[in-house]
């Protein structure tokens, strides 16, 4: 059989939980590719990692197919997590259009938990593009598909598996050369490589999706074989600049295996800066930590809670009385021996209460911030409801026993999946919003304290410091603001959904002006953004931009962006915007706006700039904002009603009868050239600041009518929307328009 006639298979990694700039390797697909080629030597198998592919240029699926000779007979697309579901459906449809005769197959955690979602109708009412779904380990089912393809015999069943790999040591070695295309760019997209050394997990943590694979026995490569696999990856990638993640669901469940492996790795280390793995706290003794030190290994733990009742509810251990004490012992051994480690806690797990959160916080303060420092870092996660987890499978029971409430299910059918997966009231005593506030209020001081307490100074210290800093960012005011903004958005969406009145009544909309938590987080986020942009907050203008609630003036669909220093569209056309915060700072400082001033704001949109100006000029001053769009002007009137010194008018900025005689004028759109009528309308001794053909221009009108113009630099604003803009005279006033520092230059 010529190469051209040989059956061809393509395995696609679309990106998932442990990729997208984090890890490199896709060992799951490589293991399946090796198994398929061993079962059917006549088949050619290619592997595409779309995360790595992006580093080589834009992703064009037709070009990927062309690289394979223009055809594939089988295409497998991994659906590792539920976050990938919609993406995988879309990829399947596109490959179906390119390869109408190919067999399309998917598998992974989500496919294992919900195989019917790939065999029936999709959320949009269309048909699934997939022919087959693999449940559990993929090597067996994919090998049988490869053999069937070679024989020309299509399987009758659409759901294949579960078919666990009984002995990983008998599987063919992973062929890393299938990723050779990405080796030159691998370090650009990831700093950590990943590998698997074992299968299965016998534990039954309530939140975990591992149950979906129906694989409850732990099986591993023999220790020396595992070391050899790590060295094969090292030979392919040169791990000297990488950390290596052993991505097993449970590392080293058996004590004898674990210690033999660590001893072998210490004798024959790979070049990785640090080896990172996940292991249970209750399995370890001091000897294990000492071996990890010798083997350059850092352990990660699923602590999940510092509250004994929550630990029991999560089904974390059998020996509940010893679990939290054991974590303290392990942390002490690690500190004594200089071994870095990490632990994860879940905030908002079903059954959580404010009391259990505060108990966890006190425990973590002792664990991380006690005398002598720590060699550990902390990851703080919101609870996420994963399909196939025990909580999902037993949801009615959990709702009855804890009062938990899931606000959007199935969340993976919608956009905003990162938010909707977490949008759960943990208990009848604690709703989502209060839980969110406590997570940010109580855990942030611990996360900010860990960098000062971090006492590890060995290999890859920078790796752990980055992880520590990332956790601080994840619990920042900006992150908190985004979450509450999405809460507002989805409450509004569901309130308008007449299909479920009961759900809409539970999720009543909260007026922004009444949401004190959102206001506080938003203000803190604005302050952080402004400081990072180098904008001083030591004058009235800087403080006003920080303090005025910008979120009150934007459409709800961009509420999550309101704290950012960028322009935001006020309607679908994008012709009207609320300018970036720094733009208002530049505008009002150029005007030298001060308390007691009177300002006319032209093109005020929904009134944010006027609100900022009103805060600056104070009770002794006044602001008039003029907006040509009636709907935006009405919104401005509503939002500005509480500021007695600010008035919104629906009108055309070019109607100077509305503002003739103003001494300070700000313009929120690009006028192209300053209209003659505006200069005439400006009071003697007045100042006008406007964007003019991409420059921020200051116009000063002297007592005698002379006009001086100066430019402050390039800017980008929306264009003038007035019909008069095309016909109005743009010549300067008769007294002349002079460039500052020049003689007789004309505008």
DSSP designation for 683: P
Q: Are the C-beta atoms of 689 and 696 separated by less than 8 Å?
A: yes
- Ordered alpha helix ranges (H), 190-254: 223-237
Q: What element of type H or E holds 62?
A: helix 61-67
194: left (phi over 0), alpha (psi -120 to 50) or beta: beta
- CB-neighbour burial class of residue 146 (10 A; exposed 0-12, middle 13-18, buried 19+): buried
The 10 Å CB-count burial string (b at 16+, else e) for 528-563 is ebbeeeebebeebbbbbbbebbbbbbbbbebbbbbb
Q: Are the C-beta atoms of 619 and 645 separated by less than 8 Å?
A: yes
Tally Cβ neighbours within 10 Å of residue 672: 15
Can you tell me the distance from the alpha carbon of 521 to that of 516, in angstroms, rounded to the nearest whole number? 9
Q: Which residues are catalytic?
A: 579
Q: Are the C-beta atoms of 192 and 24 separated by less than 8 Å?
A: yes
Can you tell me the distance from the alpha carbon of 249 to that of 197, in angstroms, rounded to the nearest whole number? 10
Tally Cβ neighbours within 10 Å of residue 254: 13
The pair of three-digit structure tokens given for residue 238, joined into one six-digit string: 């040169």
**CA 660 to each of CA 611, 630, 665, 720: distance values in angstroms, whole numbers, following the listed order:** 21, 21, 10, 19
Can you tell me the distance from the alpha carbon of 624 to that of 597, in angstroms, rounded to the nearest whole number? 12
Q: Are the C-beta atoms of 277 and 246 separated by less than 8 Å?
A: yes
Which of 260, 266, 272, 169 is closest to 223 using CA atoms? 260
**CA 291 to each of CA 253, 287, 604: distance values in angstroms, whole numbers, following the listed order:** 15, 6, 66
In degrees, rounded to 5, the angle at the alpha carbon of residue 343 between the alpha carbons of residues 338 and 346 is 170
Could you give the 3-state DSSP secondary structure of residue 559? helix
Can you tell me the distance from the alpha carbon of 573 to that of 569, in angstroms, rounded to the nearest whole number? 8
Can you tell me the distance from the alpha carbon of 266 to that of 289, in angstroms, rounded to the nearest whole number? 13
Tally Cβ neighbours within 10 Å of residue 317: 18
Which of 142, 136, 62 is closest to 105 using CA atoms? 142
Alpha-carbon torsion 306, 311, 314, 317, what sign? positive
| DSSP characters over 332-366 | HHHHHHT--EEEEEEES-TT--HHHHHHHHHHHHH
């Amino acid at each position: 059989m010529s190469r051209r006639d040989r059956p061809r298979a393509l395995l696609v990694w679309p990106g998932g939980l442990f990729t997208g700039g984090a890890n490199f390797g896709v060992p799951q697909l490589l293991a399946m590719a090796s198994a398929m080629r061993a079962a059917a030597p006549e088949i050619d198998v290619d592997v595409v990692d779309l995360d790595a592919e992006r580093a080589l240029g834009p992703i064009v699926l037709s070009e990927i197919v062309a690289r394979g000779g223009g055809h594939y007979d089988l295409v497998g697309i991994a659906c590792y997590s539920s976050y990938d579901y919609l993406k995988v459906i879309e990829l399947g449809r596109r490959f179906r259009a390119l390869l109408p005769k190919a067999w399309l197959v998917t598998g992974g955690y989500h496919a294992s938990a919900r195989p019917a979602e790939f065999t029936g109708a999709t959320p949009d009412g269309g048909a699934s593009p997939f022919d087959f779904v693999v449940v559990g380990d993929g090597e067996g089912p994919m090998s049988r598909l490869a053999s069937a393809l070679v024989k020309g015999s299509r399987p009758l069943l659409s759901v294949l598996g579960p078919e666990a790999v009984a002995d990983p040591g008998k599987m063919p070695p992973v062929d890393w050369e299938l990723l050779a295309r990405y080796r030159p760019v691998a370090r650009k997209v990831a700093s950590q490589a990943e590998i698997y050394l074992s299968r299965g997990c016998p534990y039954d943590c309530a939140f975990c999706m591992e149950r979906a694979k129906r694989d409850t026995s732990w099986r591993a490569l023999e220790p020396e074989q595992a070391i050899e696999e790590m060295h094969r990856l090292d030979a392919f990638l040169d791990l000297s600049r990488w950390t290596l993640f052993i991505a097993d669901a449970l590392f080293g469940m058996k004590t004898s295996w674990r210690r033999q492996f660590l001893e072998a790795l210490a004798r024959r280390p790979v070049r990785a800066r640090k080896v990172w793995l996940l292991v249970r706290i209750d399995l370890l003794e001091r000897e294990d930590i000492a071996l990890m030190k010798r083997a350059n290994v850092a352990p990660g733990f699923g602590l999940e809670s510092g509250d004994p009742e929550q630990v029991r509810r999560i089904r974390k251990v059998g020996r509940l009385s010893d679990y939290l004490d054991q974590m303290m012992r392990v942390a002490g051994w690690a500190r004594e021996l200089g071994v870095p480690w990490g632990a994860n806690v879940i905030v908002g797990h079903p059954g959580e209460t404010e009391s259990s959160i505060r108990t966890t916080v006190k425990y973590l303060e002792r664990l991380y911030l006690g005398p002598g420092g720590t060699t550990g870092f902390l990851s703080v996660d919101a609870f996420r409801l994963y399909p196939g987890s025990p909580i999902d499978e037993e949801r009615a029971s959990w709702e009855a026993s804890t009062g938990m409430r899931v606000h959007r299910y199935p969340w993976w059918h919608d956009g905003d999946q990162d938010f909707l997966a977490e949008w759960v009231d943990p208990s009848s005593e604690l709703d989502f919003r209060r839980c969110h506030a406590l997570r940010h209020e109580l855990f942030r001081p611990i996360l900010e304290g860990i960098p000062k307490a971090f006492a590890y100074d060995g290999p890859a210290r920078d790796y752990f410091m980055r992880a520590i800093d990332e956790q601080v960012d994840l619990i920042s005011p900006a992150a908190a603001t985004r979450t509450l903004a999405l809460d507002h958005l989805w409450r509004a969406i569901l309130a308008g959904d007449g299909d479920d009145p009961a759900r809409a009544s539970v999720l009543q909309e909260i007026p922004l002006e009444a949401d004190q938590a959102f206001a506080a987080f938003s203000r803190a986020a604005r302050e952080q953004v402004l400081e990072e942009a180098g904008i001083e907050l030591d004058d009235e203008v800087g403080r006003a931009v920080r303090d005025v609630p910008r979120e009150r003036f934007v459409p709800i669909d961009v509420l999550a962006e309101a704290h950012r220093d960028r322009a935001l569209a006020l309607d679908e056309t994008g012709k009207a915007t609320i300018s970036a915060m720094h733009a208002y700072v530049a505008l009002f400082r150029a005007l030298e706006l001060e308390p007691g001033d009177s300002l006319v704001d032209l093109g005020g949109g929904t009134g944010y700039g006027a609100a900022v100006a009103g805060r600056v000029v104070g009770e002794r001053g006044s602001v008039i904002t003029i907006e040509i769009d009636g709907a935006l002007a009405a919104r401005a009137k509503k939002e500005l009603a509480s500021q007695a010194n600010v008035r919104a008018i629906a009108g055309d900025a070019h109607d100077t009868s509305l503002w003739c005689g103003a001494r300070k004028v700000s313009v929120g759109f690009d006028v192209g050239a300053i209209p003659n009528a505006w200069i005439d309308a400006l009071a003697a001794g007045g100042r006008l600041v406007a964007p003019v053909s991409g420059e921020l221009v200051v116009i000063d009108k002297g007592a005698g009518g002379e006009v001086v113009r100066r430019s402050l630099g390039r800017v980008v604003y929306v264009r003038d929307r007035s019909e008069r803009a095309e016909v109005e005279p743009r010549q300067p006033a008769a007294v002349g328009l002079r460039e500052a520092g020049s003689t007789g230059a004309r505008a």
